[in-house]
Structures are given as C-alpha cells and as structure tokens.
C-alpha cells in the first residue's frame, strides 16, 4: 500500500508539473495574441502581465488540481487573471473565443470579475489587497452561518487569497488582520507569490523577516517555502551549505539581475563570492549553464512537490500565511528583469517558447498541443477527476419575504436617524423572517448611529460567549453588549475599509453559501470616503447591502468640518450598483427601507444607501399615499404647482423646514409656486440619463420621471435647488427642460456652530432660499 500511495503521488506531481507548463504557455499566449496578433483599431497597448502570471502558475496548478476542494473559494491576484482563465479552459469552462478577446469587449477581463467574466469567479480582484482581505470577512460570514444553523460545519470551506508580495504593502491587509484576530478567524489561507518584484522595483529586503512576526502575533501559522527539491538536494552536498548561505543573504535586486543574466553570470558571481569554500567549485561543475540557472531558480514556489507537501500540512482550520519564493517571469526570457511587470515577449521570444514546448504553429490554442496522445488523455482524465472539476455553480437562494409596508414611527418631531433606529427595533421585536436575516454592523459607531436598540434586542455575534460585565455588576446602562453565537450584530473596529469589506462579504452570502442575509451597515456619513475603494469593490461584485450614512452635512453643527459631509450625495449618485436616497421625514424613511430590503433581493436589484440626519423636524400629516410611488422614483410635489407656474423650490433632506418655510413666505407673491421634495437625486438622474440614451440605443422615446414632474412648469420658469451637501447634486435639474436654476448647498468645509448660525453662514436658511428665488426674476 505504501508503494502504491507513493506511485500515486509521483504520478500526480508529474501531471501537475505538465499543467504548470501548460498554464504558463496559455496565459502567455493569451496576452501575446491580444497585443501582437489581434487587430488594433485604436493604437493603444492592450496590456497584460506575462511575468506576473508565470510566477504563479506552479502555485495555482498545485492549488487547483491538488489542494482545492469544491467548497473552497479563491481570490486570485489581479495580475494572474489569465492563469485562472487558462485553468477553466482546461476544465472546459472557458472558451477559446473569449480568451482570444482578452481585454476586448465581451472577452476575458483584465482582472477576475464576478460580474463581467463568464467563468466561476468567487471574488473580484483588481484594486490590490481588497480581494485578500475579503477572504477573511467571507470566512467570518461562513462562521456566522454555521453558528446560526444555516450551514453545516462539515461543509465549511477555506477562503483562499493568492496575492502578490507587493500587496503586503496595502494597509487594508493589516486592518483586516487585526479584525480577524479579534473574531478568532479560521479557515483562511493567504498564499504569497514572493517574487520580490513590484511594478517599480524590487521589494525591500529587510521587510521579509517582519511578516512572520506580524502574522504570528495575530495567531496565524506562517509557512515559508524558500527552496525546491533541486536546491535542497544540492544543499546536502559538499559546498551546499555555503551555497545555501549565499542564497539566504543575496539581496533581492541582485538575485533578480542574476536570474535575468542566466547561468554564466550565476557561475561567475558564485565563484567570485564563495568559490574558495570547500566543495563549491565541484558542486558548480556538476551543472552546465542552463542547469545552474535551473538550480538557482528552483525556489519553493516553483516546485510542485514542495507546494503539495505544504498544502497537505495545512489540513486544519488555522489561518495560514504561505510565503512561496518565486521568480517573476519564471520560465520566460523576461525572468528577473526589473521592467518585466508590464513587459512582454516579442514575436521571436514567443516563437522560441512555443518551439521549446513542441507546440506546432497554428496549434497555440490546443489544450494539449505538443503532448502525445497518451499524455494528453492522461492529463484530460486527471483534470476531469480533480476536486475543483466537481465544484457546484453558485447558489440561487430564495428571497426573504418583506412586509408590504413598515410602520411609521410615532412622534410629531423626529429625525430620520431616529426613525431608522425605531424601524429596525420594531423589526427586531417581530418574529418576521426578515428580522432573522438582518445582520447589522458598524465601525465602532453602533450607538451613535441608532443601531443600539436592534443590538439590545438581537444581541452581539460572537462564536464564544462574551459577558456584559456592567450587567453582571448591576451597573445601569441602556446598552446591552453581550456576545453570543445567536447574535445578529457584528462588532467592528473603526477601520472603514473593514466595514465595507464585511458588508460585501455579508451581501454575497446568498451566492457563496446559499443563505440570504440582509446586511445593514451604519457609518458616519463623512467617513464613507475613508472606505470608498472598498465600497466600490463591493458594488462591483454586486454584493447587496443597505448602507446608512449618518449624521450628515453641516446639520451636524457642533461637530465641525471634519465630521460634516459635503460630497457624499455625489458619491451616491456616481456609484454604480448603489441606489442612494436622502429622506426628510420618518414616513419616507419607512418607505425607502421597505423598498431597499426588496431591492437588495431582486435579480436586477442593487445595494442601497440612505443619507440621514440627527436633526429632529416637524412631521407632515399626509392626506393619502399618492406621494409614495413618486418618492421611490426620486421626487414628488409636496406642494403641487399650478400649470404654467414661473418658479419652484426643490429641496432634499434635512433642509425641508427651511424650504417649506420659504415656500409659505413666497406663495402669495408667486402664484402656484411649487415645492418639490427630492428623495433621491441619484434615481432621478439615472432615470433621466437612461431615457436620453434610450432614444438612440433602443429607439424608445419616453419621458423620465423628472421630466414629467417639471412639465407642469412654464418653459421660462426658474428653480431654486437646496440641500445640505454639494449643490451639484441638484443643480443639473435645470438641464432637464431648460429651466433656469439658482442652486444652494455646501461646497466648502464646515465649522463648529449652532444650526441657525451655520445655515445662515452657508446660505441654507429661509432667507437664502427667498433671495435665490428673487435672483431668478432679476
């Protein structure tokens, strides 16, 4: 039995070595074809990263065709995107046509994309570092589902990131590392392609010895693969210890340069540095120049047996950092050159590589070209029987029922932030399935963003019980901070990148694990910008979540400019896959939240962002529900204008009282003056843009919602727009039907003060609106 197992492993290693070679070729050819063979119509370089791919092919071959299980998920480093497509090509899950159109419309994307690529992609990558950290938060989501009995422990997968060593410079990696330690992270592997070259230069030598310390301190196992089998065998021979010490101390830049120069340069340098030591000359004479170059670059990340043994040793749930030494451009004429990040093989070099592999001209896309029939059949069978070939398609989780309407919180005066908290609290007290699927999170602002009542009702999520010491000591507190496995609030530190990555991971639970969660995250509105890259990343993956930014604008008053948001309405308008709203009244909040929970689950839906305030204002008495449909479309007439009216005031959010007061002052002087409540500049603008584009793309001539609303005004009418944010969020309304606009808003940093002073200073008060209206008639 032992002999049989050894033979099986030997055969497996041999097969994976051939797959490594084939992945290197296909990824290189894909990039070459796009840049040198396919017709160029714009004269621009298509791009691609042959060297970054070739440094990863052995790691990915060993991972995908040996270690990876069907339930595991992988984030592939951006620049190795062609390799993962080549893998799926071998699995018959990718087409030659799409690979021929690499970086072309409808073809393979530059970097792995969940939404744009046709192959199974677990995590989009592109903004370096984010895909790495996302695997940790997805592992946390998996633990949440296990403890809530939505997923069996036996089906737990590993969340794996394949990362370039330059990604270790990304700050979000270490923010994530700290959060993972706090939540006792498990089932997570980060595999580092340690080729010691970034885009600009070689990486700093002194940093490597720190990674072990940093990760081990945070509870990770660190495995380092420096040498492959050839090197380890050489180290055991006379002179081998001297050679090993020399490699150990060789600076990264010098190792890269010698790799590019080749065997003769290696020999001269080694003889010069350590040739006088016992056994070294004889050891070097055992190898010709090609053999010596092969020995010196036989690093752990290129040795299939070394990689397989390492993966096999990680057979538990402990988070693991695997650092695999590699050569950037391994196996290519670009190997080691400091400019190889964006460098590409020329026609002569790609032909030499093709000939070396025995691939006939015209057979470049054949999966097993250059192999004999027996070997080709053997490799096909090996690929077909690999665990990754049995990976199931992503889940299609059923929708969670959303009540037809949410109760509007009682209170003649209240803020939108308070209304949000009350609505969530009412849900938390109910037995609705929706309440069970809601997961809340915040970057250390749970109480100040009105999530406290939900947490008090539903509890803090922890895999191990966390006692509330104040409660045990009978110290009065409105806050219950007791952790348990059934809790539904995930506590996060103040790092907004972590916050948005956690929302993205929660928002993909349906696709990743087959159970739909409805994440709700709150953050101080101005600090959305601190995590904007991660927010964009989550939206790009089409993760679904409800984001609440609060409190917002200079309405925050005494907190000052650093806490007062200005441009977040524009962020909401400009971010794809995110529908943004800014309600003024509690009933608008209830309506929008109900819509958002349904929208998050719709096949063509999206995430939602609600911008709220702590300012309590007088609530409206509604005559009927006729306003609701228009409010969800983006705006409704709070005070209907008369046909042919010469003016209107359009407001958004917290400044509703000032707009209403100004309207009351002006309606006697301007007969039929309209007052437009804008609940979503975002939805209004998207609808307007889509209608204009549709006239040309779809030959569909339709009026959008804002056109219909403004059609009642005179063609010569003027509009005052006002919101506590960038005036650009509303000033575009004048372009819809050619109306004159007098825009009000904040476009400079705020300062401390009370509301009357700040609204007067920044021209958001009643007088400013009246003056802006007068300006329309000057």
The 3-state secondary structure of 370-428, one letter per residue = CCCHHHHHHHHHHHHCCHHHHCCCCCCCCCCCCCCCCCCCCCCEECHHHHHHHHHHHHH
pLDDT band, very low/low/confident/very high, at 190 (cuts 50, 70, 90): very high
Spell out the residues 6+ positions from residue 32 whose beta carbon is closer than 8 angstroms to its own.
50, 344, 345, 350
Summary mean pLDDT of the chain: 93
Is 70 exceeded by the pLDDT of residue 5?
no
Instruction: Grade residue 475 by pLDDT with cuts at 50, 70 and 90.
Output: confident
Contact call for residues 557 and 758 (beta carbons, < 8 A): yes
pLDDT digits over 290-321, tens only?
Answer: 999 999 999 999 999 999 999 999 999 999 99
* Helix or strand (DSSP H, E) at 759: helix 755-761
Over 50: is that where the pLDDT of 525 sits?
Answer: yes
Within 8 A by CB and 6+ apart from 757, the residues are: none
Task: Give the N- to C-terminal CA distance of the chain in Å, as an integer.
Answer: 97
pLDDT of residue 683: 98
Split at pLDDT 50, 70, 90, the class of 338 is confident
Q: Output the six-digit token pair for 278.
A: 């016992």
**744, β-bridge pairs:** 722
- Least confident range of 131-145, 146-160, 468-482: 468-482
Q: For residue 360, what is the DSSP state?
A: P
757-777: per-residue pLDDT in tens?
Answer: 999 999 999 999 999 999 998
Return the pLDDT at 206.
60
Please tell me the predicted confidence (pLDDT) of residue 2.
Answer: 34
Judge whether residue 558 has pLDDT over 70. yes
DSSP labels, 29-70: HHHHIIIIIS--SS-------HHHHHTTHHHHHHIIIII--T
- Report for 57-66, 261-270, 698-707: range of highest mean pLDDT: 57-66
Is the pLDDT at 246 greater than 50? The verdict is yes
b/e per residue, 375-407, with b = 16+ CB within 10 A? ebebbeebbeebebbebeebeebeebebeeebe
What is the model's pLDDT at position 211? 83
Q: What is the Cβ-side half-sphere exposure of residue 386, based on CA atoms within 13 angstroms?
A: 24
- The Cα angle at residue 343 between residues 340 and 349, in degrees rounded to 5: 105
The answer to whether the CB of 681 falls within 8 A of the CB of 611 is no
pLDDT at 4 over 50: no
- The predicted pLDDT at position 484 comes to 84
Q: What is the pLDDT of residue 7?
A: 45
Minimum mean pLDDT range among 144-153, 494-503, 699-708:
699-708
**pLDDT > 90: percent of the chain:** 83
pLDDT class for 204, splitting at 50, 70, 90? low
At 196, is the pLDDT very low, low, confident or very high (cuts 50, 70, 90)? confident
Banded pLDDT at 199 (limits 50, 70, 90)? low
Q: Work out the percent of the chain whose per-residue pLDDT is above 70.
A: 97
Give the pLDDT of residue 1: 30
For the whole model, what pTM was predicted?
0.94
């Amino acid at each position: 039995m032992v002999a049989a197992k050894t033979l099986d492993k030997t055969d497996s290693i041999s097969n994976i070595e051939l797959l490594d070679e084939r992945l290197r070729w296909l990824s290189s050819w894909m990039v070459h074809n796009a840049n040198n063979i396919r017709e160029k119509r714009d004269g621009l370089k298509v791009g691609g990263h042959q060297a970054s791919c070739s440094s990863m092919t052995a790691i990915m071959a060993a991972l995908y065709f040996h270690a990876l299980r069907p339930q595991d998920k992988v984030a592939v480093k951006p620049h190795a995107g062609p390799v993962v497509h080549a893998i799926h090509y071998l699995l018959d899950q990718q087409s030659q046509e799409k690979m021929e159109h690499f970086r072309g419309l409808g073809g393979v994307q530059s970097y792995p994309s969940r939404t744009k690529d046709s192959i199974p992609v677990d995590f989009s990558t592109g903004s370096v570092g984010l895909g790495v950290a996302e695997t940790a938060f997805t592992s946390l989501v998996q633990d949440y589902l296990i403890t809530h009995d939505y997923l069996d422990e036996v089906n737990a997968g590993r969340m794996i990131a394949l990362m370039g060593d330059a990604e270790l410079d990304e700050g979000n990696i270490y923010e994530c590392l700290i959060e993972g330690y706090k939540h006792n992270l498990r089932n997570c592997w980060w595999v580092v392609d340690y080729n010691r070259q970034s885009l600009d230069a070689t990486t700093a030598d002194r940093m490597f010895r720190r990674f072990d310390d940093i990760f081990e301190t945070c509870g990770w196992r660190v495995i380092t693969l420096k040498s492959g089998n050839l090197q380890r065998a050489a180290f055991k021979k006379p002179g081998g210890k001297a050679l090993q010490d020399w490699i150990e101390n060789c600076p990264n830049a010098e190792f890269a340069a010698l790799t590019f120069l080749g065997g003769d340069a290696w020999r001269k340098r080694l003889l010069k540095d350590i040739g006088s030591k016992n056994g070294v000359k004889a050891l070097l004479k055992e190898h010709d120049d090609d053999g010596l170059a092969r020995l010196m670059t036989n690093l752990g990340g290129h040795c299939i047996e070394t990689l397989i043994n390492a993966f096999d040793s990680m057979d538990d749930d402990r988070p693991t950092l695997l650092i695999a030494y590699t050569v950037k451009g391994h196996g290519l004429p670009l190997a080691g050159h400091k400019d190889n990040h964006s460098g590409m093989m020329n026609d002569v070099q790609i032909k030499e590589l093709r000939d070396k592999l025995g691939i006939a001209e015209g057979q470049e896309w054949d999966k097993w070209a250059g192999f004999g029939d027996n070997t080709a059949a053997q490799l096909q069978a090996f690929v077909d029987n690999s665990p990754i070939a049995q990976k199931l398609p992503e889940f299609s989780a059923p929708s969670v029922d959303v009540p037809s309407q949410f109760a509007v919180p009682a209170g003649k005066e209240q803020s939108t932030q308070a209304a949000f908290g009350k609505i969530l609290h009412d849900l938390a007290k109910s037995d609705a399935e929706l309440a069970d699927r809601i997961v809340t999170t915040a970057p250390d602002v749970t109480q100040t963003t009105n999530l406290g009542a939900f947490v008090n009702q539903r509890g803090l999520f922890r895999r191990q019980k966390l006692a509330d010491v104040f409660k045990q000591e009978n110290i009065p507190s409105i806050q219950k901070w007791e952790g348990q496995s059934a809790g539904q609030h995930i506590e996060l530190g103040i790092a907004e990148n972590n916050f948005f990555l956690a929302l993205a991971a929660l928002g993909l639970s349906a696709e990743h694990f087959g159970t739909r969660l409805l994440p709700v995250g709150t953050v101080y509105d101005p600090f959305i910008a601190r995590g904007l890259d991660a927010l964009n990343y989550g939206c790009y993956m089409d993760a679904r979540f409800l984001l609440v930014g609060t409190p917002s604008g200079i309405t925050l008053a005494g907190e000052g400019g650093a806490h007062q948001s200005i441009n977040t309405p524009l962020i909401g308008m400009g971010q794809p896959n995110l529908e943004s709203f800014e309600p003024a009244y509690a009933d608008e909040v209830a309506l929008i939240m109900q819509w958002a929970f349904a929208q998050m689950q719709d096949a063509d839906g999206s995430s939602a962002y609600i911008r709220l305030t702590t300012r309590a204002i007088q609530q409206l008495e509604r005559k009927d529900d006729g306003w609701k449909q228009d409010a969800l479309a983006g705006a409704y007439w709070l005070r209907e204008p008369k046909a042919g009216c010469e003016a209107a005031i359009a407001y958004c959010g917290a400044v509703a009282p000032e707009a209403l007061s100004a309207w009351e002052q002006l309606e006697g002087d301007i007969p039929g003056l309209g007052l437009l409540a804008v609940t979503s500049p975002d939805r209004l603008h998207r609808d307007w843009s889509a209608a204009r584009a549709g006239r040309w793309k779809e030959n569909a001539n339709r009026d959008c919602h804002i056109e219909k609303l403004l059609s009642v005004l005179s063609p010569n009418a003027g509009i005052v727009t006002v919101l506590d944010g960038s005036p650009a969020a509303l000033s575009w309304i004048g372009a819809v039907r050619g109306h004159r606009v007098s825009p009000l808003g904040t476009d400079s940093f705020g300062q401390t003060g009370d509301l009357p002073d700040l609204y007067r200073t920044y021209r958001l008060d009643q007088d400013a609106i009246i003056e802006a209206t007068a300006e329309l008639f000057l």
